[in-house]
Structure 1
Amino acid sequence: MISYPTLPKGATIGVTAPSSGVPKELHQIVHQAVERLERMGYQVVCGDTVRTDEKTRSASASVRAEEFMAFMSNERVDAIIPPWGGELLIEILDKLDFASMKSKWVLGYSDTSALLLAITLRTGIATAHGTNLVDLRGEFADPTTAMWETVLSTGKSSVIIQTSSNKYQKEWRHDNPSPCVFHLTEPTVWRFIPKGRVEMSGRLLGGCIDIIRHLIGTPFGDIRKFRESHIPGEPVIWYFENCSMNTTDLRRTLVQMKLAGWFNNCSGILFGRSPANDPVENYTIEDVYNELYEDLRIPIMFDIDCGHVPPQITFINGAYAEVEAENGAGIVRQIFK
């Protein structure tokens, strides 16, 4: 069974930095994001880690873990949204008290995805892979990003539908800020194997594959135990996004996941658009996807709205999903059961 948090109207959002904090020269973007959320009717409480950063960390692992657990145990905090990701969140996992965690939303992506997946696997509490806090600072949000609020407000046993975006951002242009943060200029086209119409259903699990691969073989990546305890007999849809790996590194990671049993009873795999996927000796990302299809004989979708090439759909770890795509567009239906 999966536990689904709720985001009430006028909720209090806790902001803590379990990975990297925000350096002084960028404090303004945190301020803008907080102001934006407050105008939307939320109360926002920032922890001490948010505005400090040294050697890729907001603070020591013990301090980061302590602050995160303080927000998780605070009855007045309804959700937690880190400012952004980082590099070394994995350092705090063995310092967290998963057994005492309350059911509340944690939302983010990139390095935060290690925390999200670990929480869901260890506790059965659903977590939300989607926008970071600083990406909410715009005067308005594009329709895909803006769905985070609707998704997190969805109650248990309810259904939430999200569709592929119309356009995506090809590159960051920090020298030319946009009122909605992202510069959405390129037509979105979801691609899939086999060609034609693709459908899949199952429980969603995933995140930034560069990061969550490091949970393999640890107590925080025990897929088998999670299946037995929370979703016995049910298939899984994995969603991944690649931030920095080249094609051979990605292939090694996928083979490792297969050998570790992560793809047992898997009904399909989704891959987000990527700023990486650099080919090695003409070994392309299309080769990787085709070989994975040959290995598993399950549908593979790629270039979907997920990860470091925005905008992105809000995926709920643990939710039951029905995903379908054809003619370059897709629909993700998530059922909170």
Structure 2
Amino acid sequence: MIHYPFLQEGATIGIPAPSSGVEAELHGLLRQAINRMESRGFRTIVGDTVWTQEKAKSAPARIRAQELNAMLQNEAIDLIVPPWGGELLIEILEHIEFDQVSPKWILGYSDTSVLLLALTLVRGIATAHGTNLIDLRGEQTDPTTSRWQTVLSTSRGGSVAQQSSESYQKEWQHDNPTPWIYHLTEPTEWKSVTGAPAQMKGRLLGGCIDVIRHLIGTPYGDVTSFQQQYIGNEPILWYFENCELSTTDLRRSLVQMKLAGWFANCSGILFGRSAANHAIENYEAEDVYQDLTRELGVPIVYDMDCGHVPPQMTLINGAYAEVDVKDGKGMVVQTFR
């Protein structure tokens, strides 16, 4: 059975940097994000690691793990939100005391998704793939991103619906700030590989494919045991987003997942929008999706609201989801059962 944390009003947010911290010249953005959360009624406990960054990490692995363990075990902390992702979160997994975690929400994406997926697979604790703390610093929040709080405040047994965004951000414009942080200028269109409407149901699992693929073959990536122990062998509805992979590297990663058994009981796959997916010898992302559809025989939807091309939905690892895609629009209903 999946354990679902619950976010109450006035909750306390722990802010560690289990992957990358924030460089000194960007500390203003972090302070702005912290102040914004406090102005919205949250309390914050800020770790030391968020203020440092050297050699592609906030601190040595043991120090990052020690700080994260303290927050995971602190019952006064209701939600953990790192400032953003990074590169080397995987270094701390062997130092995390999974058996001593006090269940609470963890929210983030990019490299943070390594921690999210590992915690759900190992402990059966639901985790939240969604916005980073830095992107919540705006005066206002767009309708898609803002749903994070509603999703995390859903009670066990309850359901929460999210609709596809109206538009998405093509590129960052840091020299042109907006009250919403993002510049949502391009019309959103969710697409199915077949071009026909798509429906799928299953237990959500996923994250940034660049990094979660490295859980394969480790004690933190045992999908089969998770299915047997926590979800009664229900099918898995996978979601992935690609940060930097070329199409052939994406293809290799998906084949590895298939060979490792991750897709053995799969009801469908959702792919987020990506600014990567660089074609190799005319091998496009759509070709990757078509190849996977032929091999797995499940519906595949792409360009959904997930990942490094904002905005993104809040997707809960472990939750039961029903997805309906038609005429370029999508609906995701998650039930905390």
1:260 aligned to 2:278? no
Amino acid paired to 1:279:
A
1:59 to partner: Cα distance: 0.6
SS of equivalent to 1:303: strand
The amino acid across from 2:325 in the alignment is A
Corresponding letter in the other structure for 2:221: G
- Return the alpha-carbon distance in structure 1 between the equivalents of residues 84 and 160 of structure 2: 25
How far apart, CA to CA, are the structure 2 residues paired with 1:77 and 1:286?
Answer: 42
Match of 1:142 in 2: 142
Root-mean-square deviation over aligned CA pairs: 0.5
| Structure 1 runs, 4 residues or longer, greater than 6 Å off | none
How many equivalent residue pairs? 337
Counterpart position of 1:331: 331
Q: Deviations over 1:214-262 (max 9, x none)?
A: 0000000010111111012200000000000000000011010000000
Give the structure 2 partner of residue 223 of structure 1. Answer: 223
Instruction: Give 2:8's aligned residue.
Output: 8
Q: Distance in 1 between matches of 2:177 and 2:301?
A: 31
* 2:99 is the counterpart of 1:102: no
1:18 matched to which residue of 2? 18
> Secondary structure in 2 aligned to 1:267?
strand
SS where residue 145 of structure 2 aligns?
A: helix
Alignment of 1:174-193 (within 5 A): 174-193=174-193
> What is the distance in 2 between the residues matched to 1:189 and 1:104?
33
Q: Does 1:32 align with 2:32?
A: yes
Contact 2:193 2:286 in 1 (8 A): no
* Unmatched runs of 5 consecutive residues or more in structure 1: none
C-alpha distance in 2 between matches for 1:247 and 1:233: 31
SS in 1 for 2:144: helix
Mapped contact 2:163–2:330 kept (Cα < 8 A): yes
Equivalent residue number for residue 249 of structure 1: 249
**Deviation at 1:194?**
2.2
- 1:316 positional shift: 0.1
Superposed CA offset, 1:276-314 (max 9, x none): 000000111111010000001100000000000000000
Deviations 1:116-171 (A, max 9, x none): 00000000000000000000000100000000010011110000000000000000
Q: Deviations over 1:154-199 (max 9, x none)?
A: 1100000000000000001111111100000000000002222100
Residue type of the alignment partner of 1:244: E
Give the aligned residue type for 2:130: G
Using the alignment, how far apart are the partners of 1:58 and 1:233 within structure 2?
38
Other-structure match for 1:73? 73
**2:63 alignment partner in structure 1:** 63
Counterpart residue number, 1:307: 307
**Counterparts of 1:286 and 1:28 in 2: how far apart (Å)?**
40
Counterpart residue type for residue 231 of structure 1 = I
Matched AA of 1:18: P
Q: What is the identity, as a one-letter code, of the residue corresponding to 1:76?
A: A
Q: For residues 15-65 of structure 1, give each alpha carbon's deviation from its aligned partner in whole angstroms, at most 9, with x where no partner exists.
A: 000000001100011111111111111001100001111011111100000
Give the AA of the match of 1:89. Answer: L
Aligned to 1:143, the other structure's residue is in SS state coil
**Other-structure match for 2:168:** 168
Gap regions ≥5 residues in structure 2 = none
Alignment match, 1:152: 152
2:11–2:43: 8 Å Cα contact kept in structure 1? yes
Identity of aligned residues (%): 61
Structure 1 Cα separation of the partners of residues 75 and 124 of structure 2: 19
| Structure 2 residue matching 1:145: 3-state secondary structure | coil
Q: Distance in 1 between matches of 2:14 and 2:33?
A: 13
| In 2: Cα distance, 1:62 partner to 1:212 partner | 20
One-letter amino acid of the counterpart of residue 84, structure 1:
W
Tell me the TM-score normalised to structure 1 length: 0.99
Q: Normalized against structure 2, the TM-score is what?
A: 0.99
